[in-house]
Amino acid sequence: MRAVSSVTGSMIALVALILFGTAARSEPDANGFVRITPDQINWKSPFGVGAAMAVIQGDPSKPGIYVIRVKFPPHTFSRPHYHIEDRHVVVLQGTWYAGTGETFDPDKAVGLKPGSYMMHPARAVHWDGAKDEEVILQIIGYGPTDTVLVKPADGMFTATH
């Protein structure tokens, strides 16, 4: 794999402030159970193309398990990137399209319907998104996490037609 550059520090700080500081929170009940309903999820869109993220549990910037959700509006994809840890992805809504490798080509992405699971190995380059419908994913990983873009100048997300 050729050398890649990390997302700029200021972007990471902005995303951390927006996402990690605004997690969906619910107080544990008397037995320690936590319940979060969909209307309690605090979606944030820090990337400018409508892709939104929400922290459900944990803090992705710190050591430990975290759970996040990612929402892709129709015709929105991430650019080729990788994460420094394994991530476990479950499709909650819509058909999610995932591709692997450094060549971005939405026509070659594999469609995964609701209920599907995909594991992203640490440092494995991939890209993903939505074609004709909104997609919501739940991602579980062990922090701290980072996103490293193959071509930082292209940005994290792109709108497709």
Digit-coded pLDDT (tens) for 19-47: 444 556 667 899 999 999 999 999 998 77
Q: pLDDT-derived band of residue 50, with 50, 70 and 90 as boundaries?
A: confident
Q: What is the pLDDT of residue 112?
A: 98
Helix residue spans in the chain (DSSP H): 9-15
Domains in the chain, number:
1
Read off the CATH number of the domain in which 54 is found: 2.60.120.10
Residue 71: closest CA among 130, 4, 14 = 130
Q: pLDDT-derived band of residue 161, with 50, 70 and 90 as boundaries?
A: confident
Digit-coded pLDDT (tens) for 120-156: 999 999 999 999 999 999 999 999 999 999 999 999 9
Q: Which residue range forms the structural domain that includes residue 118?
A: 5-159
Q: Give the integer Cα–Cα distance in Å for 82 and 135.
A: 20
Q: Residue 128: exposed, middle, or buried by beta-carbon count in 10 A (0-12, 13-18, 19+)?
A: buried
